[in-house]
Amino acid sequence: MICANITRTADGALRFGGADVAVLTEKYGSPLYIMDEARIRENCRTYKNAMAEAFGPAALPLYASKAASFKQIYRIMMEEGMGVDIVSSGELYTAAAVGFPMHKAYFHSNNKTDADIAYGIDCGMGHFVVDNVEELDAIDRIAGARNKIQPVLLRMTPGIDPHTYAAVSTGQVDSKFGSAIETGQAEEITRHALTCQHLRLDGFHCHVGSQVFDSDVYLRAADIMLHFVAEMRDKLGFVTTELDLGGGYGVRYTENDPIINIGANIHQVAAAVKSLCAALKLDVPVIRMEPGRSIVADAGLTVYTVGTVKRIPGYKNYVSVDGGMTDNPRFALYGSKYTVVPVSRTLPETVMRCSVVGRCCESGDIIQENVLMPADIRRGEKIAVLTTGAYNYAMSSNYNRVPRLPIVMVNKNGDYLAVRRETPADVAQYDV
């Protein structure tokens, strides 16, 4: 299977993180997200250990919690000694609710409201990653009103196309995020930051895109950023102590996706950073990375129950499930590939090519097309969509007033509920 935590017993039962998927579905109901706690921790350690070895003990991965944000994930990050990247007051509230140490939190977003900024400062936010000059002034003003000095990084766009899908590319000059190095705006905001009385500029951030497999992208980003760091030293006398290289590596949604050796890649980036720093006569800044997808994606799967099976002779087959774009909008949004498998048997010899679709009142409500399912699949059979731990629950909605799914965690001691299932009453609770 695409990840080592997914196996089958001799009689075909799917197991995930050591747990029997059908048994868990029986216990918690369908549809259901299952997450493998050990895999989440293992993924954190892969980044943490490699970064510490390659860059030294101060280097820290920040979990990009937009990938999956709920209380238990912040507890796990806390236990693993990770930092976090948060992008809204909602994510901040969730992290703060479980006592996440806020000095290890970084507040992103291209448009923080004054309320976001005030809440962040009051929570003891470690760093704001500042997108633009307006925001810089707002943070300076709000920190000043509290008589505080707020540490910040500045987000720069290095002008790189990471060759991923357009919706998740952020490093190009015309991106809505950050200040472009090429246009001179990056230098302008740096000059401005150094005049702000209530800010402490520690360094720079860049993020080129998500679901990136090409290790060269990080090498080029580091190269451009370090040249900028040297330029700011030479022009402004500014010494960068922190450099954040942004989001993590891509994950395997199907067997066709490459296997990435994250540790080896980090060592490669570190070697390049060190030799370039030596060439530019820079002290190596403390390095940050912000993996989201590669921390949680393969630690999650979704179980559905098959409902209507529709065969349109000469045209198409549909297998409908009891969830859909409300719990996984990624095919509808990006045409994302997924691996879909039966839960209680391996694929038999006689198969049927079909589209796995949801129950929303919308033709675009598709989980995956061109899926091979048993030809005799019918109402009641359970199927699983793999690698759904990132950007599924986080992007889920109540479209059609469909209640959100629960998240069940499995670990070596058994299973527990991390997020409970919504009810129709939950969905209607704010209506007056």
Q: Tell me how far apart the terminal alpha carbons of the chain are, to the nearest angstrom.
A: 48
Which tokens is 264 given? 């080896």
- 129 or 373: CB nearest ligand LLP: 129
**Cα separation, 40 vs 389, whole angstroms:** 9
Out of 20, 36, 85, 140, point to the residue binding ligand LLP (CB under 6 A). 85
Minimum CB separation of residue 297 from ligand LLP in Å reads: 8
Q: Which residue type is seen at 278?
A: A
Distances (CA, A) of 82 to 13, 43, 71, 85, 382: 34, 11, 15, 10, 35
CB neighbour list of residue 429: distance below 8 Å, 6 or more residues apart = none
- 69 or 305: CB nearest ligand LLP: 69
Specify whether 361 is catalytic.
yes
Q: What is the DSSP letter of 169?
A: B
Is 159 a binding residue for ligand LLP by CB under 6 A? The answer is no
**Cα separation, 247 vs 427, whole angstroms:** 33
Q: CB nearest ligand LLP: which residue?
A: 247
Choose the catalytic residue: 277, 354, 360, 361: 361
Is 69 a binding residue for ligand LLP by CB under 6 A? The answer is no
Site for ligand LLP in 17-56 (CB under 6 A): none
Q: What is the DSSP letter of 67?
A: G
Helix-then-strand count for the chain, H and E: 12, 21
Site string for ligand LLP, 176-215 (x = CB under 6 A): -------------------------------x--xx----
Site string for ligand LLP, 381-410 (x = CB under 6 A): ----------x---x---------------
Minimum CB separation of residue 196 from ligand LLP in Å reads: 22
- 180 or 343: CB nearest ligand LLP: 180
Is 64 a binding residue for ligand LLP by CB under 6 A? The answer is yes
**Cα separation, 8 vs 127, whole angstroms:** 45
Angle between helices 216-236 and 262-280 (to 10 degrees): 30
Q: What is the DSSP letter of 125?
A: -
Minimum CB separation of residue 415 from ligand LLP in Å reads: 26
Q: How many CB atoms lie within 10 A of CB 295?
A: 32
Site for ligand LLP in 221-250 (CB under 6 A): 246-248
- 246 or 285: CB nearest ligand LLP: 246
Is 291 a binding residue for ligand LLP by CB under 6 A? The answer is yes
Count residues near ligand LLP (CB under 6 A): 21
Asked if 355 and 311 touch (Cβ cutoff 8 Å), the reply is no
Which tokens is 432 given? 């007056």
Asked if 42 and 36 touch (Cβ cutoff 8 Å), the reply is no
Residue 90 has, within 13 A of its CA and on its CB side, a CA count of 7
Out of 67, 229, 286, 367, point to the residue binding ligand LLP (CB under 6 A). 67
3-state secondary structure of 212: strand
Minimum CB separation of residue 390 from ligand LLP in Å reads: 6
Is 290 a binding residue for ligand LLP by CB under 6 A? The answer is yes
Active site residues: 361
Chain positions contacting ligand LLP, by CB under 6 A: 64, 67, 85, 108, 168, 170, 207, 210-211, 246-248, 290-294, 330, 334, 391, 395
